[in-house]
Amino acid sequence: MKIGLRLYGFDELVPILGGKELEIQFEGHTYGDLIHHLGEKYGDTVAKLLRQQVIRNSRQWIPGNELGFLLEDGDRLMFIPMMGGG
């Protein structure tokens, strides 16, 4: 499966991943499979950081703990870090 990734606010990961936008080819069909692949390829820290707020195809929210969420070939995922404030 091939998925497009876009990072917002993960500047520390850009040198590791090679950019803010990339295409990832991986085996599997779920968000958890993608996170597992990223962990194997780039390290557990990357996988942990990217298990946060995700938006699929600019319209659907994927909670970071919903690892069984089904993805489709060609999906575009936007990763957004958790923000605190008040």
Q: Write the DSSP assignment of 36-61 as a string of letters.
A: HHHHHHH-HHHHHHTSSEEEETTTEE
pLDDT number for residue 85: 58
pLDDT number for residue 63: 87
pLDDT number for residue 86: 56
pLDDT number for residue 52: 84
Report the 10 Å Cβ neighbour count for 6: 15
* Cα separation, 85 vs 31, whole angstroms: 28
Query: What pTM does this model have?
Result: 0.89
Domains and CATH numbers, the chain: 2-80 (3.10.20.30)
* Residue segments in the chain with a per-residue pLDDT below the cut of 70: 83-86
Please give the structure tokens belonging to residue 10.
Answer: 């993960």
pLDDT number for residue 82: 74
15-19: long-range contacts, CB 8 A cutoff, minimum separation 24: 16/42, 16/43, 16/46, 17/42, 17/46
